[in-house]
Amino acid sequence: MTLNIILLGPPGAGKGTQAARLEDEHGMVQLSTGDMLRAAVKAGTPIGVQAKAVMDAGELVSDDIVSGLIGERLDQLGAETSVIFDGYPRTAAQADALDTILSDRGRQLDHVIELLVEEDALVDRITGRFSCGTCGAGYHDRYKLPKVADTCDQCGGHDFKRRPDDNEETVRTRMAEYRAKTAPILPIYDARGIVTRVDGMAPIDQVNDAIEAVLTPAG
Ligand code: ADP
Ligand code: AMP
């Protein structure tokens, strides 16, 4: 069965971490607008040039740009590929656009999984976050260190990096954007009865178990 799910939650809630687990365990594909925008910035495309200052400030890139990226990326996938939307939608306009994008492609939204994490923990997670510069695997200074020091578990690389927007000041702006523009879209999905709330404060494996229970209910 093809699944289309949204992982929703503030910056640092664990969306990318859990999406990577679902990719590994189920062959689902993570569609992260943040990753797509960072790739555009790195490549110096017109979208990247436009988005860079907005991202550095922790504000939101325009709805048309991110919805365009999602539509393009979905078109590159087979109709049978299950997808995880990570960091999209972030506004009511994006939620509307996603409905159209999915129905135009014969897809429908199955689950919205909201990761609940306290704000102090979010700052702690984001300021300790780093990733492998070669394969992108995610780590944390205290909660998820590589098994062998300075060596990526996934690809053996030794080059790690931190995001320029992962500083406390920008994080506060990103959280304010989440509260003002993203949290208000939840009632749209609540009304459809497709939201499950998961305790994102739990350790990574337990959060994964809770998400698995939503995707493959017992019985
Ligand atoms: P998001 O994609 O929602 O912004 P990430 O998945 O990048 O968040 O997680 C932010 C940071 O917190 C990463 O460094 C990650 O290793 C760490 N992290 C993720 N989930 C947990 C968890 N359940 N407990 C502790 N740390 C976590
Ligand atoms: P993320 O990787 O999800 O934390 O996103 C990093 C930054 O990219 C955000 O702070 C925004 O500036 C931008 N961004 C990512 N996804 C979106 C989106 N769906 N809508 C608007 N801006 C986005």
Residue whose CA is at the smallest distance from ligand 1 atom 10: 12
What's the confidence (pLDDT) of residue 203? Answer: 96
pLDDT tens digits, 49-105: 999 999 999 999 999 999 999 999 999 999 999 999 999 999 999 999 999 999 999
Q: Which of 141, 160, 142, 138 shows the shortest CA–CA distance to 151?
A: 160
CB atoms within 10 A of CB 118: 11
pLDDT tens digits, 154-175: 999 999 999 999 998 899 999 9
| Residue 129 known to be catalytic | yes
Ligand 2 atom at minimal distance to the Cα of residue 37: 8
In this structure, are strands 160-161 and 111-116 parallel, antiparallel, or unpaired? unpaired
pLDDT level of residue 219 (50, 70, 90 thresholds): low
Q: Which of 21, 144, 201 to mutate to test the pocket of ligand 1 (most atoms within 8 A of CB)?
A: 144
| Phi-psi group of 201: left, alpha or beta (phi > 0 → left; psi -120 to 50 → alpha; rest → beta) | alpha
Amino acid at 105: R
pLDDT exceeds 70 at position 211: yes
- Find the 217 Cα to ligand 2 centroid distance in Å: 31
Predicted TM-score (pTM) of the model is: 0.97
| Residue 107 known to be catalytic | no
What are the residue ranges of helices labelled H in 106-167?
119-127
| Residue 90 known to be catalytic | yes
